[in-house]
Structure 1
């Protein structure tokens, strides 16, 4: 029996992408979608032999146009699940309708606190005692989709943003593959 096929969407270094590939996932990652030509995640995909679709959003007339192109690539690859891993674009209605309840994101805060960009810095600067990571379904909002799982970490008075980021990434690298497997196998 063949495994479920998934795509990962990423815009940056790809540490969560790498963690997924190093885990025994219940799915095959058959495509990396990246909106940043030259992003480090592309090197990680090449090292592991994962096909990529790289696009420049500015070369399309609209979000609907580039999402239609992405959907075509996803269908060609037989993808049924999408996992966002540092993808810095908001998913639009075109993509959301094509993959309803099959797009998952990981965010470095305990949502609903600190949605959007710079969540680690927001938590650190707010002086809260805890933050964490959230795995959630994607909807039309920014980090507003239904929560699937959360894990917390303490923020220590001596923490730098880099130290906190490192702890949160370690947590992400463990939690995200676990949640992916639970969703695929249910």
Structure 2
């Protein structure tokens, strides 16, 4: 089974993953290339994460996640935030789309929009996000650049439950990444992303197992 600690720094991944009565139904929200979507999908294919991806919601018409979703055989729905009068209106349509695809867990994978209570309340304690820092350090945009500007020796990534405040909410899992003297934002981001791909599927399983046993 997964370890029960709420936050794990550079964790070893489980050799035996939780199995649920029914596979988790995931809705993935992405704004960019969707590399975490692919990592989650491959974990499911390998039989590690007991889940299904019901739908991918994206908000940028040219987002690379569309190609990944098509290659993985996943339905993708464009909800362009530029066409909505408010964040709440966008989130209302996101909720309706997720519910139409029988989603019970919402997985934000590079979703670059602040969400509102409309989404959070519809999936109480079942909205997860991944952020490229060891929260609570360096929330918000350009977290990698923030870490380099602060000259920290260790950076990393965090999977957490989503709350209204940006990059807040209980931590599910973290992975540490040493900062090298020669690092640029691109090189550090690339190494952090490797850890994101490792821990996000495991963190989803951990969060679901904890939620179901509560």
The normalised TM-score by structure 1 is 0.96
Which residue does 1:19 correspond to in 2? 39
Deviates more, 1:82-91 or 1:159-168: 159-168
Deviation digits for residues 52-78 of structure 1, max 9, x if unmatched?
111111212222212111111111111
Measured after TM superposition, the shift of residue 2 of structure 1 is 4.0
Runs of 4+ in 1 over 6 A off after TM superposition: none
Which residue does 1:10 correspond to in 2? 30
The DSSP-based 3-state class of the residue aligned with 2:53 is strand
> Contact 2:23/2:52 (CA < 8 Å) preserved in 1?
yes
The DSSP-based 3-state class of the residue aligned with 2:93 is helix
Q: 2:139 aligns with which of 108, 112, 115?
A: 115
> Contact 1:27/1:184 (CA < 8 Å) preserved in 2?
no
Structure 1 runs not aligned, ≥5 long = none
Structure 2 runs not aligned, ≥5 long = 1-20
Which residue does 1:155 correspond to in 2? 179
The normalised TM-score by structure 2 is 0.84
Which residue does 2:9 correspond to in 1? none
How many residue pairs match? The answer is 186
The DSSP-based 3-state class of the residue aligned with 1:113 is coil
Indicate yes or no: 2:151 matched with 1:131. Answer: no
Query: Aligned Cα RMSD in Å?
Result: 1.2
Deviates more, 1:87-96 or 1:56-65: 56-65
